[in-house]
Structure 1
Amino acid sequence: MLIRFAASVLFLSLVAFGAAADSSTPTGKWLAEDIDGGGVIDRLQTTLEIRDDGIVNGMGGCNRYAGSAKIDGNAIKFLPMASTRMACSPAVMNQESKFHSTLEKVRTWRIDQAQKKLLLLDRQGFELMRLSKMD
């Protein structure tokens, strides 16, 4: 009985550790909620997907983009992105441009685990972008 209890505790600890490890990485699919303190246009899907291998892609709001990021611990640097070249309304194009220029300034990341947010920060640790986890 004691062995079974110890095995159950060990299993639950490993499961909890795995869940915590997953929430402490910037990988996954994220939806922009705020870009450089200016908010975002309601219902405009500006997304960022980061894979384990550093491949990055998503939707800027009007155009799809792809590229890569160098991730080392909490340090992250987004490399130049390739993008489609469709035209949308000026407001959408402005947000998309702001999204890409802000990504270029990002140097570190942090997860707000309580709110399931990815915070992208500049060199001094100031928040440049806030994204929510997409399922």
Structure 2
Amino acid sequence: PPWGPPSTRRTPQAPVAEVIGAGGFGRVFRGTWRGQVVAVKAARGDAGAAGAASLRREARLYARLRHPNVVALRAVCLEPPHLCLVMEFAAGGPLSRALAGRRVPPAVLLDWARQVARGMRYLHQGDAPCNG
């Protein structure tokens, strides 16, 4: 499927590997784009016009965000049936999975909490362009 950066809308290829998540929108795959490992959030095949509009809104929001503690948008494809967002890959996986059933040293937990707090502050205190 074609993927294009939001600013240039070019269509380089982004081969996907395994499914790493799923939700109401569709599935998330691990893939590569421009030599980087990425997460590809792909819409369900039946997403239709409403799914495309939702993806477009999400892409516009993510494209404006710039913070080291917020996952970055790398590219977007708005050409059905390949509706998807190409996102920065978080190698550690979901925080919930990292915390489930294991003992994490307090210093690591504190570091993670600070990173989450920095990202949330950016998104909620008006620093992020989506708040202005």
- Normalising by the smaller structure, the TM-score range is under 0.3
Return the structure number with greater helix share: 2
Larger RCO (alpha carbons 8 Å, 6+ apart): 1
**Whose Rg is larger?**
1
TM-score, with length taken from structure 2: 0.26
